[in-house]
Chain A
Amino acid sequence: QLQLQESGSGLVKPSQTLSLTCAVSGGSISSGGYSWSWIRQPPGKGLEWIGYIYHSGSTYYNPSLKSRVTISVDRSKNQFSLKLSSVTAADTAVYYCARDRGGPEGAFDIWGQGTMVTVSS
């Protein structure tokens, strides 16, 4: 069964770059038809989609974050990563990685457990 696991720095200083990795186990990240997303949730608030990387390597980012976001894939390690630059306190959130089946009747069907990232000096 496919599983996702986030990892990375839990504390980032303002203006620095947040870096997270999502390890995929129980299946290949290169499987066709899927995209791999990052989603975040500030404490006590709702969900915000950050962006995705498609199995082909193409990406799409939320315009609200586009200037600061990079999502990449490392097929040799079966993982994908998020970098968010110039962070502020507003970027404090639980960050989730998720698989999107894509297309009609897609949806985020598999989620990682989430990792809390705090932006503070």
Chain B
Amino acid sequence: EIVMTQSPATLSLSPGERATLSCRASQSVSSSYLSWYQQKPGQAPRLLIYGASTRATGIPARFSGSGSGTDFTLTISSLQPEDFAVYYCQQDYNFPYTFGQGTKLEIK
């Protein structure tokens, strides 16, 4: 099983700041099979990024993804109030599909 480890667990930032979230895989993952999701309280996760760097439909350009191999990054260029949420990375390169434990992005 590929273990996905996200850091930091919690990130405290102010609106307008840049957020950098990390995701590390326990073994190499093809970037085509790496996705990021956003989850707000009481809601289902929402797909943000797939293929490591492609924004899903309707996702603002301030969200970007990068990385390859075992290290991947989600960047939010200028935080908006609605961006404070929990973010998960996920791989579907190998079975079983696995998620990271999440990074909580909170308002400082």
Contacts and interface: CB of A to CB of B under 8 A. Distances in A.
- Do A and B come together as binding partners? yes
Interface in B64-95: 88, 90, 92, 95
B73 to A, nearest CB: 17
Contacts, number: 60
Interface of B: 1, 30, 32-33, 35, 37, 43-47, 50-51, 54, 56, 88, 90, 92, 95-102
Contacts of A96: 44-45
A112 B44 contact: yes
B51 to A, nearest CB: 4
Interface in A103-121: 104-109, 111-114
B7 to A, nearest CB: 14
Interface string A45-71: 011110000000000101110000000
Interface residues of A, number: 22
Nearest to B46: A111
B96 A49 contact: yes
B96 A106 contact: no
